[in-house]
Chains A and B, each alone.
Chain A
Amino acid sequence: METAFRPVAVENKEKEVIARESVSYWKDAWRRLKTNKVAIVAIFILATIVIMTIIGPSISGHDYKEINSSMINQRPSVEHWFGTDALGRDIFSRVWQGGRISMIIGLTGALIATVVGSIYGSIAAYFGGRVDTIMMRIVEILISLPYLILVILISIILDSRSIGTMLLALTLAGWCGIARLVRGQMLQLKQQEFIMAAEALGVKPWKIIVKHLIPNCLGIIIVAISFDVPGYIFAEAFLSYIGLGIQPPGTSWGALASAAQQTFIFHPYQLFFPALMIGLTMLSFTLLGDGLRDALDPKLRQ
């Protein structure tokens, strides 16, 4: 019986070999994201679209502004891969040129909204009380304004329809959602015992914000960005579609779809390609956001 159980003599050094490699939080999140096939496909599609918006306009051999009256409304062919539009312009070049604008608006719009919203939300949550009440009432007022009215007003006041104006109009109230999100998360974090422990240790408030509060909010902020980007792309497409966005000869996916819509019974491919790009981008960002949310949530760890 004495020999039934014997301690396995493991030297301390061997123990270190047995213990699995320690991974950092972000490495661990990446490892878990990699196992999510849907998210990886989404990343792949997004990367392809981004690369194409950079090199796409110059590889077809046709400038996106180049008008060719002898080649109007051509079907997709070897010469014009996605066909041509009513002015004989190459749709392949125009789709990627338009993609540039859409991507710029989507990414910078989400970035501006996130930065402004995060700062605003953290301030409201950290100071709490009356400051919080007043700041959140302002957010509620801004959120209740229909953004179409804001956009029309701003484009009239500034008398321009450039990307900058559109970004300003879209982000003016766009940060409110993230501000609410970050405030909620921070309020919850403030009650956590590890924040109390840091306070009890005498850690200074700004250090608590930088070392504890912000890193713990980063997960939801990143996810919010990935859900916000398609929102901005779609908002831009919508504005261009109703004629408030990018003006010719500049273009965007929304403007392309808008131009194609008038003749789409006869030339459906003119609508198909920009619509496909809008759909793919939005779907990929949403799926990536979904994957990120799962990968970054510590409670879903295995």
Chain B
Amino acid sequence: MSKEKLVEIINLKKYFHVGRNEVLKAVDDVTFEIRRGETLGLVGESGCGKTTCGRTILGIYNSTDGQVLYNGQNVHKMSSSEKVKFKKGAQIIFQDPYASLDPRMTIGEIIAEGIDVHFKLKESERIARIDDLLEKVGMNSDFRSRFPHELSGGQRQRIGIARALAVEPDFIVCDEPISALDVSIQAQIVNLLIKLQNQLGLTYLFIAHDLSMVKHISDRVGVMYLGSLVEITESQELYRKPLHPYTKSLISAIPIPDPKVEEERQRIKLEGEVPSPINTPPGCKFVKRCSYAMDICGKVSPELKEVEKDHFVACHLYK
């Protein structure tokens, strides 16, 4: 795997105005990079801004501040012709396979949507391409004339993947592609994603909240808490040696499939609830639930620092 950066996210902010003088900081000053050919996992609990972050990276949402560079180009400041090119290169797979396919279109039409925008093909070539994509995601060509409502959740998610692959992208944001599926299907979809990555040299931003699945698929993992990135490092390193107190508690919450070990191990339980992301006070966002909290934590928000090689943490515990 190369170290070449495909996507660079620099001080990205996405705020939503939710009322008079109330600002929801969904993504608050996030900086990281996605390297060509890797899978970057992004984890965190519900409402911590993972999905917003993924969508802002793709330019579906406008950013409030900061930059997203794709191959060195700012995604949010592209001309319309550059935007078309970017949309051919970067795609998204959605969480809910029921909401992400138009119920009035056939599977063939859904997959062809991107082909029609970016390629000029003859009808026979177009059909051949749709069949080829269906085969790539493990389905046969008689699904082409079916409707989404005739398909199961796993099959629909495969169609979602085929639609994203149709424009031959090199970067795909997988926005919790497996969390709406049941466990046996989850493994199928993850294996399919891995297979496609090996075949086509794809780069993934894999958003999820299932830590063991993220460990399985990701090369590196970033942990988000309330809109901020608190830790990012290589996948094995993160699970072996989590540094941020929040990551530690997350890792300790993964169940171990051995009752004896499970019984003896110590879990780090978090006190309290996730604070509201609206009008957050200054300082570290985790301070109220952190057992290591110091005076400085309530005043200055920690910056993401490289504590060890390729291991970035935003915490005052590490200098």
Q: Is A7 an interface residue (CB 8 A)?
A: no
The docked-state distance in angstroms from the alpha carbon of A216 to that of B105 is 10
Query: Which B-chain residue is minimally distant from A200 (CB atoms)?
Result: B92
Q: Is A192 an interface residue (CB 8 A)?
A: yes
Q: Is A198 an interface residue (CB 8 A)?
A: yes
Q: Is A25 an interface residue (CB 8 A)?
A: yes
A-B contact count (CB 8 A): 76
Residue pair B118, A197 in contact (C-beta under 8 Å): no
Residue pair B163, A197 in contact (C-beta under 8 Å): yes
Chain B positions near chain A (C-beta within 8 angstroms)? 55, 58, 60, 83-84, 87-88, 91-92, 94-96, 99-106, 113-114, 117-118, 140, 142, 145-147, 149-150, 160, 163, 167
The 22 listed contacts between A and B (C-beta, < 8 Å) are: A19-B142, A22-B142, A24-B106, A192-B99, A192-B100, A193-B100, A196-B100, A197-B92, A197-B94, A197-B100, A200-B91, A200-B92, A201-B87, A201-B91, A201-B113, A201-B117, A202-B88, A202-B167, A211-B105, A212-B102, A212-B104, A216-B104
Out of B94, B105, B117, B118, which one reaches A196, CB within 8 Å? B94
Chain A positions near chain B (C-beta within 8 angstroms)? 12, 15-16, 19, 22-25, 28, 192-194, 196-204, 211-212, 215-216, 298, 301
Residue pair A202, B103 in contact (C-beta under 8 Å): no
The docked-state distance in angstroms from the alpha carbon of A221 to that of B226 is 42
Which chain A positions have C-beta within 8 A of B55? 196
The docked-state distance in angstroms from the alpha carbon of A192 to that of B148 is 15
Residue pair B114, A201 in contact (C-beta under 8 Å): yes
Residue pair B149, A301 in contact (C-beta under 8 Å): yes
The docked-state distance in angstroms from the alpha carbon of A198 to that of B91 is 10
Most buried by A among B104, B140, B147: B104
Residue pair B60, A202 in contact (C-beta under 8 Å): no
Nearest Cβ in chain A — how far from B266, in angstroms? Answer: 40
Out of B92, B101, B140, which one reaches A12, CB within 8 Å? B140
The docked-state distance in angstroms from the alpha carbon of A156 to that of B159 is 61
Residue pair A298, B103 in contact (C-beta under 8 Å): yes
* 19 further A-B pairs in the complex, CB-CB below 8 A; given A201-B87, A201-B117, A203-B113: A15-B140, A22-B145, A22-B147, A22-B150, A24-B147, A28-B147, A192-B99, A193-B95, A193-B99, A193-B100, A197-B100, A198-B113, A200-B58, A200-B91, A202-B84, A202-B167, A212-B104, A216-B103, A298-B149
Which chain B positions have C-beta within 8 A of A211? 102, 105
The docked-state distance in angstroms from the alpha carbon of A204 to that of B149 is 26
The docked-state distance in angstroms from the alpha carbon of A216 to that of B91 is 24
Which chain A positions have C-beta within 8 A of B83? 202
The docked-state distance in angstroms from the alpha carbon of A19 to that of B140 is 12
Q: In terms of DSSP, what is the predominant structure of the interface of chain A?
A: helix
The docked-state distance in angstroms from the alpha carbon of A28 to that of B150 is 11
Out of B60, B99, B106, B142, which one reaches A200, CB within 8 Å? B60
Which chain B positions have C-beta within 8 A of A28? 147
Which chain B positions have C-beta within 8 A of A298? 103, 149
The docked-state distance in angstroms from the alpha carbon of A15 to that of B102 is 26
Residue pair B99, A194 in contact (C-beta under 8 Å): yes
The docked-state distance in angstroms from the alpha carbon of A28 to that of B103 is 12
The docked-state distance in angstroms from the alpha carbon of A7 to that of B214 is 34
Which chain A positions have C-beta within 8 A of B94? 193, 196-197
The docked-state distance in angstroms from the alpha carbon of A298 to that of B149 is 8
Nearest Cβ in chain A — how far from B135, in angstroms? Answer: 12
Nearest Cβ in chain A — how far from B176, in angstroms? Answer: 12
Residue pair A194, B87 in contact (C-beta under 8 Å): no
The docked-state distance in angstroms from the alpha carbon of A10 to that of B59 is 46
Nearest Cβ in chain B — how far from A13, in angstroms? Answer: 10
Query: Which B-chain residue is minimally distant from A16 (CB atoms)?
Result: B142
Residue pair B104, A25 in contact (C-beta under 8 Å): yes
Q: Which 8 A-B pairs have the closest CB atoms?
A: A202-B87, A193-B100, A201-B114, A215-B104, A194-B102, A22-B145, A193-B99, A193-B94
The docked-state distance in angstroms from the alpha carbon of A232 to that of B75 is 52
Nearest Cβ in chain B — how far from A130, in angstroms? Answer: 15
Nearest Cβ in chain B — how far from A28, in angstroms? Answer: 8
The docked-state distance in angstroms from the alpha carbon of A194 to that of B105 is 11
Query: Which A-chain residue is minimally distant from B173 (CB atoms)?
Result: A200
Query: Which A-chain residue is minimally distant from B118 (CB atoms)?
Result: A202
Query: Which A-chain residue is minimally distant from B110 (CB atoms)?
Result: A194
Which chain A positions have C-beta within 8 A of B60? 196, 199-200
The docked-state distance in angstroms from the alpha carbon of A98 to that of B146 is 47
Residue pair B100, A202 in contact (C-beta under 8 Å): no
